[in-house]
Every structure is written in structure tokens, then in C-alpha cells.
């Protein structure tokens, strides 16, 4: 079972439907966590959402508790939530991407995806990861083809994955493939 | 009997009535046997009870009416602080006993001529609009909202002849979701172009509009489409709404069934082109009418995105109640089928006051002056009726 923590976003149920292609999904609000369900889940997903990771201390707490114990996936805000918990700095961008389609490129050497492969993806984010960023076992594996902003992270030891873009958006091509790959990793 | 007679007859009878755009013309509903004024307390029971019967025998086996903005917020747990309010009901539904089909051309001569007051006052001047605009832009930069619609309201003290207004309005602009309500103490006239819910059996669609282009001699449909596709701001706004509506439908639809049926097409109206998508899905078993309404309302395209945090931002900013504006008008059949629009481009006349609310979107690359004028243009189409 996959537990999706909803940060009250208007895209969360697209995420739910996408993950339902692969397993049973339970989804509830970040401020209303069902502990017994969370315990049973094999995978925990941090949803997109408004605001910034510091606004969701409860989600940070859950991340820290579950790190290394369950597979963790973060999307957009969820991606930033993971980085924030790993001492990454989340900052405002000069150029803001809302409803934007762009190309990302696989840049990581140890990624599940083929190096230099490009994906067309949908983006909804005001904030981004400020670099340099370094955390044990984490690698930035995809970047915006133009701005080089960090677009995906992988930690294949602790099984933690994140996308700054939205694999569930209709603007993303082959979004299901991306999710399938990290779920079977 | 000709259509002229129906309209004359209904006016002379002084009975309350409703007219709603149908596929081929208009439907007139009257002889109301029940009128339900909605409150935060009775709304859930009302919605659940309408479709309890499961069968629809007559074409009047339905409740028709509207949900105001505030009651829809309350329904999804979004609280609105105390605002200036005119004590207009939060929602009203009627059970009609008579339905008459009318053609597209509505002809009606007012019985008595009323002198309208055509001077409107706007509740926000350009400076205060710009202030709010800049405040919301900061919220976009910090990621609290991605798109937000600021509402301005034009008001005046006057009587109106609602049917006359509606007939004149539909002569120049046949909007697919146009409707009017005439009751004893209020009337609503709307040329809404936007369908929020069409539900037949287990299939549901929504048809968001995001993107408007004023017609000129040089434009045609193909050129309008090229304009929208090339215009990054319009494209981004539209994309956002499509993903949001997909997500709203996904709450109540079977997994994998939500599809974009028409992606980014152009619809042509008398004065303008709209950038429109059609999204649909198959409802899950055991989804109630209330579940559907809570998932879809208030309609996202006129609020902004993400819905909940954007509603909260709007509600702390807006000092005056929105009343019907960005609520929904439509009907629920006894068998659970329904059709609802989004109430925009509308006039509410209550206690001899008219109000026209309009809104336009703030995204990161919007310009305050442009959007303020855009609001004025939208309102002007309705204010012109007061001549």
C-alpha cells in the first residue's frame, strides 16, 4: 500500500490516480495522519502543495522517522520537503514556473534513468533548491535543460526519490514510466 | 402558442420563474411548489435528499437554483471572516411543476418602462486594486498560490426589468450557460459561458475556460487558437486549470478514467474567443451528489490554484461578500443527474440594488493596470444594459 500525504494541493488527486496504476493508495491530509495506515504502507509519498517546507513541520517529522525504513517519494513541495530535511536550502527563484512545460535531462551517474536522456515535464514551483547541496547517499539526478535547476534526486541506499516537476501533470510525457521505475527500484 | 405569449403570460402572472439555456433554445421553469432557502445547516440534507428517489419520471422532477460562494466555502471547510453583507440568501432552490421549451430568440416587450440608474460605483479603485495585486504577487513568489482572481464589484441603486435585461443580453450574446431567475424580491441575470458539472448516469464532465480574446475584424478561430498557443501567459494559466480540474474529478472518479476529452480548443462567441478544455471521467460507485458538489465547487477556474490556500488568501482580503458571484447555478434531477455552471458575468438585483462582480487572474507575469481594465470591460458588457 502507498500512503500519500496531501498538503492540501489541487493536484494531489492526479498523483493518487497515477500511483493507483501500481498499487492500492491511501491519501489523507498532512494534519490528519492515520498512524496505523502509515505503519502498514510500503511507500510514503509527500504530495505537492502551496508554501514552503518550513510550513509543514509534521511532514518533516514523518520524513525523519521513516527515512531508511520505508521508500519515500516527494513531488514538488514533497521534493523540497526531503531536501529541507537533509539540510538543503529552499529559496525563491527569479523566474517562476507555474503551468510551464520544459525539458529536463538526466545528469546523475548513478541514476535509475539513462544518463543524458531527456523528458518533457510540467512544472509548478516558485521555490527551488539552492546549491551547492550535499547529503550522504543523495545525488541530484535530473536538471532543467536550460537553467540547470535541480529537478530530481535519488538516494538508492535509503530508497528516497523526489521530483521537482509533476510526473502526474498532463504536461509531462511518460510520467507513468518515471513512477513505475522508482516504485520498482 | 408562440414563444412571445409565454413570456408575456409569465410576466403578467407575476409568478416567479427561471430560464436556463438548453441545447436548442431555452427552458422556462415555473409554478414552483417548493422553495428551499439554503443555510449552512440544511444544505447537506437538501443535496442528499434530492436524488434519493433514484428515478426521474417527469421533466420537472428536479430542483433548480443556485449555491452562493459563501455556502460553498463552508461546505468544504473554508471559513470566511465577517464581511460586509447584504443579507442575501446563501442559496435558493425551487421545485418546478411546469417546464416550457423556448426557442433561442427571446422576444419580449416590457409592459411598463422603468428608468434605470446607469451610474455605477466600483468598490475598488485602481490604487487599492494595485495594492491587493502586489500583495498577491508576493504570495505567488513565495509559492502560497500559483494563480489568484481578484474580484471587483460594481453597484448601483435601481430597479430593473429582469426579463427585458435577459432578452436583450441573449440577443447579443448567447452564452451556453445563460440563465435568469425572477422571484418576488430579487432577480439574477447571467450570460455565463462556463459549465462546471454535467453529470449523466455515471459520467461527469467539466469544461473550464481560461483565456479570453476580444474579437476583431482581423481574427478568426484559427488565428485565435494560434494566439493562445503562442501566448505563454494564457497557456500557463490554462494548463494550471486543466491539471486542477483533472485533480478535482479524480477525487470522485474511477482511477484511470479521467481524460482530457478536448484539449485547449477555441470557442467562438459574439464578441470574444474563449480558450476551453473539456475533461471527463467515470464516477466511482457510491459517490453521492454531495461528494460531487464538494469535489467540484466552488469552480476552480474562477478562484485560482491551489484551491484551498487561494480561497483562504481571497477571503482574508475581500471585505465584501461575493453573494452569488463564483457560486453555481443549475439543477439536480431526482435520479441524481445534474448540470451546474459557474455564476460569472451576472447581475444580482436585490432590494433595488444591482451588483455586478467581475474578476481576472493574477499570475506571476500579469500587469495590474491591464487586469483592472479587463475587469472593467467584463463589467461594461452588463452595465450597458442599463441604458
The alpha carbon of residue A68 is apart from the nearest alpha carbon of chain B, in Å, by 29
Query: Do residue B243 and residue B366 come from a single domain?
Result: no
If pLDDT is split at 50, 70 and 90, which confidence band does B174 have?
confident
Across the A/B interface, how many CB contacts are shorter than 8 Å? 103
The alpha carbon of residue A110 is apart from the nearest alpha carbon of chain B, in Å, by 31
Mutate to test the interface with A, among B143, B146, B280, B287 (most CBs of A within 10 A): B143
How much is the average pLDDT of A155-171? 98
Question: Cell 512544472 sits at which residue?
Answer: A123
How much is the average pLDDT of B316-327? 93
How much is the average pLDDT of A15-19? 98
The pair phi, psi for residue B294, each rounded to 5°, is: -70, -30
Annotated catalytic residue, options A76, A125, A144, A154: A76
Annotated catalytic residue, options A85, A86, A125, A168: A168
- Give the separation between CA A17 and CA B155, rounded to whole angstroms: 44
Domain with A81 in it: 2-184
ipTM value: 0.97
- Give the separation between CA A169 and CA A119, rounded to whole angstroms: 13
Which three three-digit cell numbers place residue B182?
A: 425572477
- In chain A, how many H helices and how many E strands? 5, 9
| Domains: count for chain B | 2
Question: Cell 455605477 sits at which residue?
Answer: B120
pLDDT of residue B1: 46
- What pLDDT, in 10s, does the model give residues A83-124? 999 999 999 999 999 999 999 999 999 999 999 999 999 999
**Chain A: residue nearest B305 by CA?**
A10
Q: Do A21 and B256 touch (CB under 8 A)?
A: yes
> Catalytic residue at A85?
no
Peptide bond just before B298 cis, omega within 30 deg: yes
CATH code at A170? 3.40.50.880
Query: Do residue B19 and residue B47 come from a single domain?
Result: yes
pLDDT of residue B3: 47
Question: B165 with B188: CB under 8 angstroms?
Answer: no
Query: Do residue B48 and residue B113 come from a single domain?
Result: yes
Query: Do residue B302 and residue B265 come from a single domain?
Result: no
pLDDT at B365 over 60: yes
**A43-46 and A71-75 beta bridge pairing:** parallel
Q: Express as a percent the part of chain B with pLDDT over 70.
A: 98
Query: Do residue B161 and residue B310 come from a single domain?
Result: yes
Question: Cell 482530457 sits at which residue?
Answer: B260
How much is the average pLDDT of B359-374? 86
Query: Do residue B381 and residue B324 come from a single domain?
Result: yes
Question: B168 with B385: CB under 8 angstroms?
Answer: yes
Query: Do residue B150 and residue B61 come from a single domain?
Result: yes
- Other Cβ atoms less than 10 A from the Cβ of B143: the count is 25
Burial of A32 (0-12, 13-18, 19+ CB in 10 A): exposed
**Alpha-carbon distances, residue B283 vs B50, B203, B251 (angstroms):** 18, 6, 9
pLDDT at B309 over 90: yes
pLDDT of residue A158: 98
pLDDT of residue B224: 96
Peptide bond just before B23 cis, omega within 30 deg: no
**B209-214 and B272-282 beta bridge pairing:** antiparallel
- Give the separation between CA B307 and CA B303, rounded to whole angstroms: 7
The pair phi, psi for residue B130, each rounded to 5°, is: -60, -35
Higher pLDDT pick, B115 / B326: B326
**Range with top average pLDDT, A28-32, B84-88, B149-153:** A28-32
Domain with B255 in it: 208-278
Query: Do residue B67 and residue B189 come from a single domain?
Result: yes
**Alpha-carbon distances, residue A46 vs A1, A82, A136, B89 (angstroms):** 14, 9, 20, 40
CATH code at B22? 3.60.120.10
Question: Nearest by CB to B306, which of A9, A126, A127?
Answer: A9
Query: Do residue B156 and residue B217 come from a single domain?
Result: no
Range of lowest pLDDT (A5-19, B123-137, B322-336): B123-137
> Catalytic residue at A13?
no
B contacts of A96 (beta carbons < 8 Å): 140-141, 364
| Domains: count for chain A | 1
Question: Nearest by CB to A98, which of B250, B310, B364?
Answer: B364
Query: Do residue B195 and residue B148 come from a single domain?
Result: yes
Distance of CA B237 to the CA centre of its chain: 19
Range of lowest pLDDT (B17-21, B215-219, B262-266): B215-219
**Alpha-carbon distances, residue B244 vs A24, A110, A170 (angstroms):** 22, 34, 10
Which three three-digit cell numbers place residue A182?
A: 522508482
- Give the separation between CA B281 and CA B257, rounded to whole angstroms: 5
pLDDT of residue B366: 85
**Helix B232-250 and helix A12-20, axial crossing angle in degrees, nearest 10:** 60
Query: Do residue B374 and residue B255 come from a single domain?
Result: no
A contacts of B364 (beta carbons < 8 Å): 96, 98
> Catalytic residue at A173?
no
Task: Answer with the one of B259, B278, B297 that is the final residue of a domain.
Answer: B278
pLDDT of residue B115: 81
Annotated catalytic residue, options A7, A125, A154, A166: A166
How much is the average pLDDT of B179-208? 97
Amino acid at each position: 500500500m502507498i500512503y500519500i500525504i496531501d498538503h492540501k494541493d489541487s493536484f494531489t488527486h492526479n498523483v493518487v490516480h497515477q500511483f493507483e496504476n501500481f498499487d492500492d493508495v491511501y491519501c489523507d491530509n498532512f494534519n490528519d495522519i492515520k498512524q496505523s495506515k502509515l505503519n502498514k504502507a510500503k511507500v510514503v509519498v509527500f504530495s505537492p502543495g502551496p508554501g514552503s517546507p518550513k510550513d509543514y513541520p509534521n511532514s518533516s517529522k514523518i520524513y525523519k522517522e521513516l527515512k531508511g525504513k520505508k521508500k519515500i517519494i516527494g513531488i514538488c513541495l514533497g521534493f523540497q520537503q526531503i531536501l529541507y530535511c537533509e539540510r538543503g536550502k529552499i529559496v525563491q527563484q527569479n523566474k517562476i514556473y507555474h503551468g510551464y512545460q520544459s525539458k529536463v535531462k538526466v545528469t546523475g551517474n548513478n541514476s535509475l534513468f539513462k544518463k543524458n536522456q531527456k523528458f518533457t515535464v510540467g512544472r509548478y514551483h516558485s521555490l527551488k533548491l539552492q546549491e551547492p547541496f550535499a547529503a550522504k547517499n543523495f545525488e541530484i539526478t535530473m536538471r532543467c535543460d536550460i537553467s540547470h535547476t535541480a529537478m530530481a534526486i535519488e538516494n538508492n541506499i535509503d530508497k528516497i526519490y523526489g521530483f521537482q516537476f509533476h510526473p502526474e501533470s498532463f504536461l509531462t510525457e511518460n510520467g507513468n514510466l518515471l513512477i513505475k521505475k522508482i516504485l520498482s527500484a | 402558442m408562440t414563444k412571445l405569449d409565454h413570456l408575456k403570460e409569465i410576466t403578467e402572472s407575476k409568478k416567479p420563474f427561471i430560464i436556463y439555456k438548453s441545447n436548442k433554445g431555452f427552458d422556462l421553469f415555473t409554478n414552483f411548489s417548493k422553495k428551499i432557502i439554503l443555510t449552512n445547516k440544511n444544505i447537506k440534507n437538501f443535496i442528499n435528499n434530492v436524488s434519493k428517489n433514484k428515478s426521474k419520471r417527469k421533466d420537472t422532477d428536479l430542483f433548480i437554483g443556485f449555491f452562493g460562494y459563501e455556502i460553498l466555502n463552508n461546505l468544504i471547510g473554508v471559513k470566511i471572516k465577517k464581511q460586509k453583507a447584504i443579507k442575501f440568501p446563501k442559496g435558493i432552490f425551487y421545485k418546478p411543476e411546469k417546464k416550457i421549451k423556448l426557442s433561442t430568440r427571446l422576444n419580449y416587450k416590457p409592459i411598463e418602462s422603468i428608468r434605470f440608474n446607469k451610474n455605477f460605483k466600483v468598490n475598488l479603485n485602481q490604487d487599492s486594486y494595485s495594492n491587493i495585486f502586489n500583495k498577491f504577487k508576493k504570495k505567488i513568489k513565495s509559492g502560497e498560490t500559483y494563480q489568484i482572481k481578484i474580484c471587483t464589484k460594481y453597484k448601483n441603486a435601481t430597479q430593473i426589468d429582469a426579463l427585458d435585461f435577459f432578452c436583450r443580453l441573449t440577443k447579443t450574446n448567447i452564452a451556453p450557460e445563460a440563465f435568469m431567475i425572477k422571484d418576488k424580491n430579487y432577480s439574477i441575470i447571467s450570460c455565463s459561458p462556463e459549465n462546471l458539472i454535467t453529470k449523466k448516469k455515471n459520467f461527469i464532465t467539466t469544461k473550464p475556460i481560461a483565456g479570453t480574446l476580444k474579437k476583431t475584424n482581423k481574427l478568426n478561430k484559427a488565428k485565435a487558437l494560434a494566439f493562445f498557443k503562442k501566448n505563454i501567459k494564457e497557456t500557463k494559466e490554462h494548463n494550471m486549470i486543466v491539471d486542477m480540474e483533472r485533480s478535482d474529478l479524480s477525487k470522485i472518479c474511477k482511477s484511470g478514467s479521467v481524460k482530457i476529452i478536448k484539449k485547449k480548443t477555441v470557442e467562438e462567441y459574439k464578441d470574444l474567443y474563449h480558450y476551453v478544455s473539456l475533461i471527463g471521467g467515470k464516477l466511482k460507485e457510491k459517490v453521492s451528489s454531495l461528494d460531487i458538489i464538494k469535489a467540484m465547487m466552488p469552480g476552480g477556474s474562477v478562484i485560482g490554484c491551489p484551491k484551498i490556500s487561494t480561497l483562504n488568501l481571497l477571503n482574508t482580503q475581500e471585505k465584501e461578500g461575493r453573494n452569488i458571484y463564483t457560486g453555481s447555478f443549475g439543477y439536480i434531477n431526482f435520479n441524481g443527474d445534474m448540470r451546474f455552471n459557474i455564476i460569472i458575468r451576472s447581475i444580482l438585483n436585490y432590494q433595488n440594488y444591482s451588483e455586478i462582480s467581475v474578476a481576472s487572474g493574477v499570475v506571476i507575469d500579469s500587469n495590474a493596470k491591464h487586469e483592472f481594465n479587463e475587469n472593467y470591460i467584463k463589467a461594461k458588457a452588463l452595465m450597458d444594459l442599463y441604458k
